[in-house]
Chains A and B, each alone.
Chain A
Amino acid sequence: MIQFNLNGKEVEVKDDPNTPLLWVLRDSLGLKGTKFGCGKALCGACTVHLADTTVRSCSFPVRYAEGKSITTIEGLGDAERLHIVQAAWIEEQVPQCGYCQPGFVMAAVKLLERNPDPTEEDINNAITNLCRCGTYSRIKKAIHTAARNIKAQN
């Protein structure tokens, strides 16, 4: 039995401790927003938050989540209460097929928490997820938009 905090709630799972967090989230806990893209931590579609950092959950055995706090895209915000980054994503109309976007959003949120006004280079260094539709230019725009909105809010 592995226990951890998921999106603010305590959960426990019976999966094999080596099961990637990704599949525990998706199949045991029913949160499908975290996506499977490559299974090798190459594409970032499975990015979630672990305490104050991000992890690529396809390569994160659930046993390491014991006692930790995990946040997924579902825990970030919803249509009624959007996270400021999600709102920026909507403002810039970022997604196309959308499959990789939760991973990008999660990565962007962590970047902005630690660096509220990132440069183009900061973004390139921090966000290395892959998108096959080619939404990169709007992703960068949305991060800057979110940064502006965060600044305006404070």
Chain B
Amino acid sequence: MKNITVNNISRRGFLKTTGLATGGLLLQGCFLSSDKKDGSKAIPLNAYIRITEDNFVTLIVHQAEMGQGAQTTLPAILADELGADWSSVILENGLTDPAFQNPKFKFQFTGNAESIRSFHDILRKTAATARELLKEAAAEAWGVDVGSLVAKDSHILDQKNGKKAPFGDFVVRAGTLQAPENPKIKARSEWTLVGGKSLPRVDVPDKVTGKAIFGIDVALEGLLHAAVTICPYFGGTIKELHENDLRNMPGFIDLVRIPVANPIVAYPPGFTKQEGIAVVAESYWQARMALKKLQIVYEPGPNAALDSESLYSLYEDTLQGSEWHESLKEGDAQKTIHTSNDRHTATYYSAWQSHATMEPMNATAEFKEDRIEIWAPTQGQEMAQILLSKEFGVPQENIIVNRTYLGGGFGRRLLADYIYLAAYVSKQVKRPVKLIWSREEDMQHDYYRPGTMQSLTASLDTKGMPTALHAKAISPTILQAATGADYVFEGEDPSFPEGIKETPYRFENFLLDVNMIRLPIQTSVWRSTGFGPNVFALESFIDELAAKNGKDPIPFRKELITEERSASILDAVAEASGWYKPKKEGHYMGVALTHSFETFAAQIIELSIDGYGILDIHKITTAVDCGIALDPAICRASIESGITWGLTQALSSEITFKNGRTVESNFHDFKILTPAEFKMELETIFVDSGAKIGGIAESGPIPVAPALCNAIFAATGKRFRTLPLKKHGIYTRYASNYLPKKEKLTKKFAAL
């Protein structure tokens, strides 16, 4: 096995050696320093690479590892370009640093399938810079021409005379040299660690031996533990608090009321701030038991009547209304549709969803006067700094955010509300505190992926091809809570119309109207972002248009698309799935095409369904063009993970509301796919177009729901436009065995 050392939590003092203040230089990836203050003699050649004189190469992992493989592929890019010996590198989780900011957003976060596509080129340039510095120092030392030197296996090698010496011999001198502005970047043909074969993931050994440190595993000297409960009513308040004998409970330390337990940087209109109560004790279970003693009487507040039905009606009413923000207009869709003889309209709805990361929200904080140190499973290290700085008035540079492994992120951990809670409590009790949410708190106080509604109308020409599309999308904001800027989106945020604003198709006349409704329920991004629900609507609708005139959905799509990559993955997926071949008895297929996160994916689901709506999914074939699959096994795992995610939300999981609060509280009622249900064959093909590298982690779930519903349509002739499918009595064979007595399976499809 590789002898890669993974330092899960950054060493304290690291910040001093890279230095936030020198950000301008860091951004260029050429921060020069031989600062040895931390005593390690590791010389940073830039924010990402440090090398000791005895040739230990430390690579900084600046993006969160939450299962997507960032901790393997990102440093592999660095090592590849640097010429480092992969088997002996030391990996270290980065803190916050301007050099780690996403160049598009000028913000350091992990999400939106950005890790590779936004940083591949930066990492290559950064590593190439370091490599050239080392070569230059070696050339100087050996008195040779730099042109004959290569960097390989953490050594500099002179190809002319075979002379070889470790990087460490040159690192002191390299650290004083002027960095080249445009170092030569390796051509793809020179890549050895990425772009073809798969590396064993560096996090796997620790994850199967229980050694991997997640946020919940952080241990500190003198650590106290906190349990929390937050007002469950949207806009409700705490009316009465009865402590009972709480204070006599074993291990009890303190009870802390937190006026705003769900803070974000900028509050949209209608946001409901929720009060929370934390109980601090010597151990977590003592805190939980003490919290249980508390009797809290809530005032449900102005939204006490809110339930899923009234909420759905609100979407329907909004759809009938006239308040629209024009998001995009090309040509004159309304006129074209109005004057057409062949029109089609359909309305879709994707339900509310919880992230339900397997590791419940938690964070550890040590609040000291004018300094806060955080240990957290976070996608949003800079977000934590911004939010905490705003809330506590502590300068951002005095807030240190150590990132652990994440037991799932899916967007939830972009936010810093749960980090804030730990910091708030630590401030009150003046001790380091680890605050862990119960599963119930986690699910009831999620920033949900909101329910979204799309209404699509198209006009068709005499050949059955669309001449105009008028789309309407209704959704609360999904980007507000995840935005680090003190700015409130009006009209639309850039995320919720994704997937319907830019599509793989060309519509001569296209109008997108959106209504970003304001709701009292907190919402945010969720794996697949706006693409998930919008592509469900669009890809179902495209299928409907094809079916309306009896056209095969794949050639129909190919006629509508505008570029080659979509066409080639459609061909690839059709070929691999046997789309054009005779199907097995009772087997049906549905297709969906997506272009998201700069990646193209087409998927075909093959299934059987009986008259009672019981599904057997036989095979899911996915063709993906993400430019280059840097690590094919990680990319495949990511797509297949996305398939589970997509199936779960398409079939069974849903957050509902009743009496002004969330109904679901744990995995018994928020049902995610189980091992027994996951028995379909998966085939995932990567089409190597060599194009700019696209994202992968968010793309997997997106085609699933439409491909599934399109396959069900192919089998039954019935179109399901609202998710999850359990609402229509469609279940996997396994799930159909678990219906409550009151729900009888009914015959739905007479023909089957």
Contact = CB atoms under 8 A, between A and B. Distances in A.
Contacts of B666: 38-40, 42
B668 A139 contact: no
Nearest to B72: A93
B406 interface: yes
A84 to B, nearest CB: 12
Given A37-B439, A95-B67, A134-B643, A79 B205 contact: yes
Contact of B203 (A26, A76, A78, A98): A98
A33 B211 contact: yes
A137 B204 contact: no
Interface residues of B, number: 65
Interface in B197-219: 198, 200-201, 203-214, 216-217, 219
A73 B210 CA distance: 6
A23 B440 CA distance: 17
A135 to B, nearest CB: 7
Nearest to A96: B67
A12 interface: no
A92 to B, nearest CB: 10
B358 interface: yes
Interface string B620-657: 00000000000001000110111111000000000000
Interface in A73-115: 73-74, 76-79, 82, 86, 89-90, 93-102, 105
A19 interface: yes
Nearest to B438: A39
A131 B209 contact: no
B308 interface: no
B676 interface: yes
Nearest to A90: B204
B682 interface: yes
Contacts of B407: 35, 97-100
B675 A128 contact: yes
Given A43-B358, A72-B210, A120 B644 contact: no
Contacts of B676: 124-125, 128
A30 interface: yes
Given A99-B407, A138-B637, A28 B67 contact: no
Given A37-B439, A98-B203, A32 B213 contact: yes
Interface centre among A30, A72, A132 (most CB of B within 10 A): A132
Contacts of B641: 96, 133-135
A44 to B, nearest CB: 10
B482 interface: no
A60 interface: no
A130 B204 contact: no
Nearest to A58: B439
A60 to B, nearest CB: 13
B589 interface: no
A38 B205 contact: no
A134 B645 contact: yes
Given A32-B219, A79-B205, A37 B285 contact: no
A38 B667 contact: yes
A73 B289 CA distance: 27
Contact of B204 (A19, A95, A123): A95
Interface string A124-154: 1101111111111111100000000000000
A152 to B, nearest CB: 20
Nearest to A86: B208
B745 interface: no
B201 A38 contact: no
Given A98-B67, A134-B640, A82 B209 contact: yes
Contacts of B436: 36
B356 interface: yes
B275 interface: no
Given A93-B201, A133-B641, A43 B679 contact: no
A54 interface: no
B672 interface: yes
Interface string A23-65: 1001110111111111110110100000000000000000000
A16 B405 contact: no
A130 B67 contact: no
A97 B68 CA distance: 7
Contacts of B668: 40, 42
Contact of A27 (B225, B408, B640): B225
Contact of A129 (B203, B250, B638, B675): B675
Contacts of A105: 208
B318 interface: no
Contacts of A86: 208-209
Contacts of B210: 31-34, 72-74, 102
B324 interface: no
Interface string A1-33: 000000000000001100110010011101111
Nearest to A102: B210
A123 B210 CA distance: 22
B360 interface: yes
Interface string B417-447: 0000000000000000000101110000000
Nearest to A97: B67
Given A27-B285, A34-B210, A42 B667 contact: yes
A119 to B, nearest CB: 12
A37 B203 contact: no
Contacts of B679: 120, 124
In the complex, which of the residues B644, B673, B675, B676 has the most CB atoms of chain A within 10 Å of its own CB atom? B675
A35 B210 CA distance: 9
Contacts of A37: 358-360, 439
Contacts of A96: 67-69, 637-638, 641
Contacts of B68: 96
A40 to B, nearest CB: 6
Nearest to A121: B676
Interface string B510-526: 00000000000000000
Contact of B285 (A19, A30, A33, A123): A19
A13 B406 CA distance: 30
Given A40-B439, A136-B644, A130 B285 contact: no
A145 to B, nearest CB: 13
B636 to A, nearest CB: 10
A99 B213 contact: no
Interface in B311-363: 356-360
Contact of A23 (B284, B356, B633, B638): B284
Nearest to A33: B210
Interface string B178-212: 00000000000000000000101101111111111
B749 interface: no
A94 B208 contact: yes
B209 A23 contact: no
B674 interface: yes
A101 B285 contact: no
A93 B408 contact: no
B667 A43 contact: yes
A27 B682 contact: no
19 contacts: A32-B213, A35-B358, A39-B440, A40-B667, A45-B358, A74-B210, A79-B205, A86-B209, A90-B205, A93-B637, A95-B67, A97-B357, A99-B358, A123-B675, A124-B679, A132-B357, A133-B358, A133-B408, A134-B641
The 4 closest A-B pairs by CB, nearest first: A33-B210, A134-B644, A99-B407, A96-B67
Interface of B: 1, 66-69, 198, 200-201, 203-214, 216-217, 219, 225, 250, 283-286, 289, 356-360, 405-410, 436, 438-440, 633, 637-638, 640-645, 666-668, 672-676, 678-679, 682
Given A35-B407, A37-B358, 4 more contacts: A35-B216, A95-B201, A132-B672, A134-B641
